[in-house]
Amino acid sequence: MCGIAGFFGKRLIAPATMEAMLAQLRRRGPDAQHVVAWDSAWRRQSHNAANALIHARLSIIDPRPEADQPMSNDTGDIWICYNGEVYGWQEEAKALARQGVRLRTHCDTEFILRGYEAWGFEALLPKLRGMFALAILDLRQRTVWLTRDRMGLKPLVYYFHDGELAFGSTVRSLIPYLPAERRGLSPEGIDAFLAHRYVPAPRTIFRDIGRLENGHWLRLDLDSRRLEKRRYWQPRAAPGDWRTTLDDAIRLRTVADRPVGLFLSSGIDSSVLACRLSELGYHQLAGFTAAFPGSPMDECPDACAIATRLDLPHRAVEIPQSITGEFARIVADLDEPFADPSSFPSWFLARETSKQVKVVLGGDGGDELFAGYKRIYQHLRTRWRKGLRLPLPIIATAASKGASKLCSELRMTWGDAYALRFSGLTPNQRHFLQPGFTPPTLNYWRKPDRSSDTALERLLDIDFANYLPEYILRKADLCTMAHGLELRAPLLDHHLYQSLLALPYSERFTQPPKQALAPLLAPLADLKLFARKKRGFNPPLDDWLKQDLANRLPSLGENLNRLTDGQLSTSAVQQLTRRYLAGDNRLAEQVLQLLILDESLQQLTAMAGAK
């Protein structure tokens, strides 16, 4: 796990700019940082450079300096800059050995580099099992490749203009490289954040920075300066024993030269991982649970009971009730505006966990694999609508969700309206807050990447293209990497996903959901996990808004109006916040969303040198 950045351009970039890019990556890679730079003729440079690869390393496998990056082949004409973890590569490396290739390290970075050199990029990709965002510079072929893993566990953003390409793990790592005139915010990005609580790929909050979608690659021809983008993977059903595949996925993700732990809640997904780890003999692998003492949402006692039953060590991490001192830092670590309230306890959990382990397994993906979200079944009740839409007017209002949201749903096709089941501000509220701006769309989610046979599978495919990679996994990556903690997700192994696609519909999708996992939870059968109400990281929003962040509310409207060049109305923002303070508690998450936008844009525009 690491932070990566780089550029391939025409302008000469000063060392201070490269250092500023690297500085934004250091928290992701605290163990080693390196820059390799070239001039326009590809001669190595220590000063001004037209091309560079930048790397900040979190060393998990083979922590020796020999495994640091950027890494080159023996002749120095192929380079790799890589973030992620590829599992089980040692078997594929045997094929390289038969070709006479000898690895000088024990890390997956060198395997990817040597594999590219031997097989080429498109033949290499199918051999990569795991999570990755990587850049390969090939001076032999005069080509740069950028790619992101199938599920979207690792982030990759990029800038391309007039033949210049720059990339990074974060938006903030790219800002120093951008010319001043290319640092403007995106009005559509701001509206997309209001709609979804985050900015969905391929957009970002900046007009000229894009986000590479999961399962895609970019190819830059260094001679023609033409950039090509293509999707390289489509999931296909692969019949087989999915339980064996799950065990393989778990085993592979315990391989590390640093201590490994488990994020353990009292829910089904992490409990399955705990049961399998116990059965597979990993009895020293500790579970870490977020504790909310005194709250009905506190899962810690139940998680402790699970760990005790399975003979696994357990650590309770008490989540602070106040965010006064950490609000700005957490917003910064979320990179661009991102308004999931659970990000805050996730950040605190990762901070404390990282003090004891450097790798942690998590249960992300179970709800997407087995249709565990309530909103899916709520939306299925209206599937009779299909493409039917009603020409209802959009009425600007600060009112909270309810009739306003229903009207918005009826304006959209059934598939598009699914995005409103998990949204920030309703279309009516967005029009109210942005009276001079006409949103180009009610829904910024991208279309799913595959065609589904049933309505349920269509909704899951929408989640796999949007909610999972750009919300769940983005939050997980940013909150853990902010503390130099590598998060691995066995349930999102692509071999496991494809084996589940081959299951009979009735076996995979049950009521209650996830019954297919019940046999794996046999050691915990008497704990009745399936009967428990689903709980999440629900922080004390009212306390935060009316105490910790209260002093920010009076100036919120004025700030957002200034930061968005008038796109958000001062009076409309203040009317919405007054409505909340007058007792409409349903607006709490939306007020927090606006506060996060305020803090994030203040930070980003300061970095960009804007007003």
Mean pLDDT, the chain, integer? 94
Sheet with 71-72, side-by-side order of all strands: 71-72, 78-86, 130-138, 143-148, 216-221, 227-231
611, pLDDT greater than 50: no
| Residue the block writes with tokens 């490396």 | 93
Apex CA 193: angle with CA 191 and CA 199, to 5°? 115
- pLDDT value of position 154: 98
70 has a pLDDT exceeding 50: yes
CB 38 within 8 A of CB 50: yes
Side-chain-side CA neighbours of 160 within 13 Å: the count stands at 18
pLDDT above 80: residue 206: yes
Taking alpha carbons only, the member of 5, 7, 16 closest to residue 51 is 7
Local structure of 338: helix, strand or coil: coil
Task: Give pLDDT, residue 401.
Answer: 64
In tens, the pLDDT along 557-584 reads: 999 999 999 999 999 999 999 999 999 9
Beta-sheet pairing, 286-291 with 486-488: unpaired
User: pLDDT digit string (tens) for 95-132?
Assistant: 999 999 999 999 999 999 999 999 999 999 999 999 99
Residue type, 542: D
For 4-59, what is each residue's pLDDT tens digit? 999 999 999 999 999 999 999 999 999 999 999 999 999 999 899 999 999 999 99
Residue with tokens 């965010």: 323
Match 């009521």 to its residue by tokens. Answer: 511
* Predicted confidence band of residue 403 (pLDDT cuts 50, 70, 90): low
Cα separation of 164 and 141, whole Å? Answer: 18
Report the phi/psi class of residue 477: left, alpha or beta, with left for phi > 0 and alpha for psi in -120 to 50.
alpha
Q: Which of 255, 235, 155 is nearest to 202 (CA)?
A: 155
Q: What angle do CA 197, 389, 573 make, to 5 degrees?
A: 35
Q: Residues of the chain with pLDDT > 90: what percent? A: 88
Q: What is the 3-state secondary structure (H, E, C) of 112-164?
A: HHHHHHHHCHHHHHHHCCEEEEEEEEECCCCEEEEEECCCCCCCCEEEEECCE
Average pLDDT over residues 51-73: 96
| Residue 535 pLDDT grade (very low, low, confident, very high; cuts 50, 70, 90) | low
Residue 179's CB is within 10 A of a number of other CB atoms, namely 12
**Exposed, middle or buried, 102 (CB in 10 Å: 0-12/13-18/19+)?**
exposed
272 has pLDDT over 60:
yes
Both tokens of 458, joined, read 């269509």
Q: What's the rounded Cα separation, in Å, for the pair 9 and 222?
A: 9
pLDDT digits (tens, 9 = 90+) for 301-345: 999 999 999 999 999 999 998 999 999 999 999 999 999 999 999
**pLDDT, tens only, 226-235:** 999 999 999 9
pLDDT tens for each residue of 475-527: 999 999 999 999 999 999 999 999 999 999 999 999 999 999 999 999 999 88
Contacts of 23 (CB under 8 A, 6+ apart): none
Taking the C-alpha atoms of residue 155 and residue 25, their distance in angstroms, rounded to an integer, is 13
What fold is seen in the domain 242-371+466-531? Rossmann fold (3.40.50)
317, β-bridge pairs: 290
pLDDT of the residue at 402: 62
CATH 3.40.50.620 spans which residues of the chain? 242-371+466-531
How far is it, in rounded angstroms, from Cα 233 to Cα 169? Answer: 21
> Bridge partners of 217?
147, 230
Q: Using the 8-state DSSP alphabet, how is residue 71 labeled?
A: E
Quick one: average pLDDT of 433-462? 92
In the CATH hierarchy, which top-level class contains the domain 2-231?
A: alpha beta
φ/ψ bin of 430: left (φ > 0), alpha (ψ from -120 to 50), beta (otherwise): alpha
pLDDT at residue 398 in the model = 84
Closest CA to 597 of 187, 169, 190: 190
Cα(196)–Cα(419) distance, integer angstroms: 8
When pLDDT is cut at 50, 70 and 90, the band that residue 532 belongs to is confident
Euclidean distance between the first and the last CA atom of the chain, given in angstroms as a whole number = 35
CA dihedral 183, 185, 188, 191 (to 10 degrees): 160
Report for 371-380, 395-404, 538-547: range of highest mean pLDDT: 371-380
